[in-house]
Amino acid sequence: MIPKSNISLRFVVVGGGIGGLSVAIGLILAGHEVIVLEKAQQLSEVGAGIQIPPNSTRILEILGCKAHILEKALVPKAYHFFNYRGDNLISIELDPYCARKYGCKSLHVHRGDYHKCLVQRARELGITIFVNSGIVEIDLVHNIAITHDGQKYHGDVIIGADGLNSSVRSSIFGKEILATNSGDQAYRSLISIPEMAKHPELDFIHKLPCVNFFWGPQGHVVTYPLKGGNSCNVVVMGPDNLPPDSRVAAADKHEVLQFLKSWDSRLQLLLSLATSTFKWRLQYIEELDFWSHPTQNVTLLGDACHATLPYLAQGAAQAIEDAAALAYLFGKIKHKSEIHFLLEMYEYIRKPRTTRIVNSSKDCQQIYHLQDGEKQKLRDLECALDPPQEGCPARWADPEFQEYLFGYNIFEECEKQWLMATTLKEKL
């Protein structure tokens, strides 16, 4: 599915997260040479669980990563949406529905396992990953990435996959572009399932591999078990109370319990079992004017150009779609002179979709966190419509939006745009 180019370019990928590793894998498959420069001392992913929607599993299969991930992942049966009192608002089947309708499953997995699978695949393909290689500057005249200790790496193309506070983004724009605070933070915990099993009232959370959402005033809770049956991923979103200068901090679980004090007592019981909780400020990037440098061959990918709130569980999925788009388009390249045109096409294909997803994720903040009242009653009534209608507040139940998220095939999209562009070129 990824075309193989008949010329080989040298790509420098800045950042060895999910997006950076995916693009490195895709570009090697497209016939190029790739190195990855990672700031951290060792390769790892922090955080707990992550959902992999069908639009992402479709790509992971083509990248040759799906088998590794399936060994570690669980296949959720359904999304269940509850209000904060524990009443079910709506449920949406995921398995076997997604495989039947979209040809791909929805999965969830521990982030560490996900990242390890990508590292394993990258190593199988002979990709060199340099750790302790934080990039501080891009020399835009010579297309060189420069590390904190003065090492220089030239690339025909440099890709900034360096996350929310991207240095490559600052180099492209010639100034720092700060992430926007959403006003929310996320408490993330892994809770022992053997401990949960001592409380039968928690069975509904972990007995079947499902993703549960609880919507309440000023926040929401997401739970899903992880493979191995040992731990349950629990994320509690609520108002941000982190000090301005810190993005992540250890959290006191009593703070979480206080926030949930008027919620379903089963959630309080669940959180009382947490042994450690971290809280993260939730930020996003306002739509950038452009992703690639106007004249040089430097571009951005993933959170570096469209970090989103996690309320549609699509952040990493969008990074992987970006990766697939770059791999596909650069699999078509015939001459170095086409590089900038391909970077423009990449941005043309990807920017509208990622902007819609960032904005829709922001809208979810308003939908999920309603106080009791007229708007909340209307929201709950809309969830109760059978079958779900366009605009359904549980966004995955909206048939048009679900198709938009899950049915998207980045390879078909790139092929369509490529054919249109080449036909146009021939006519000119």
Ligand X SMILES: Cc1cc2nc3c(=O)[nH]c(=O)nc-3n(C[C@H](O)[C@H](O)[C@H](O)COP(=O)(O)OP(=O)(O)OC[C@H]3O[C@@H](n4cnc5c(N)ncnc54)[C@H](O)[C@@H]3O)c2cc1C
- Please report, as ranges, the residues that interact with ligand X according to CB under 6 A: 14-20, 37-40, 50-51, 134-135, 161-164, 167, 186, 188, 235, 280, 302-303, 310, 313-317, 319
Cα–Cα distance for residue pair 42/61, rounded to 1 Å: 26
Nearest distance in Å: CB 164, ligand X? 6
**Cβ–Cβ contacts within 10 Å for residue 296, how many?**
20
Nearer to ligand X, 120 or 389 (CB): 120
For every residue of 105-161, DSSP letters joined together read --EEEEHHHHHHHHHHHHHHTT-EEESS--EEEEETTTTEEEETT--EEE-SEEEE-
Nearest distance in Å: CB 17, ligand X? 2
Nearer to ligand X, 73 or 333 (CB): 73
Nearer to ligand X, 50 or 327 (CB): 50
Nearer to ligand X, 32 or 188 (CB): 188
Nearer to ligand X, 185 or 296 (CB): 185
Q: How far is CA 383 from CA 77, 81, 212, 378, 386, in A?
A: 19, 9, 15, 9, 8
Nearer to ligand X, 51 or 402 (CB): 51
Nearest distance in Å: CB 158, ligand X? 11
The candidate with the shortest Cα–Cα distance to 36, out of 135, 110, 106, 103, is 135
- 38: its two tokens: 């990672």
Nearest distance in Å: CB 210, ligand X? 14
Q: Vertex 188, ends 186 and 191: CA angle to 5°? A: 150
**Quick check: helix, strand or coil at residue 297?**
coil
Nearest distance in Å: CB 284, ligand X? 10
CA torsion 246→251→254→257, rounded to 10°? 90
Cα–Cα distance for residue pair 233/291, rounded to 1 Å: 33
Nearest distance in Å: CB 320, ligand X? 8
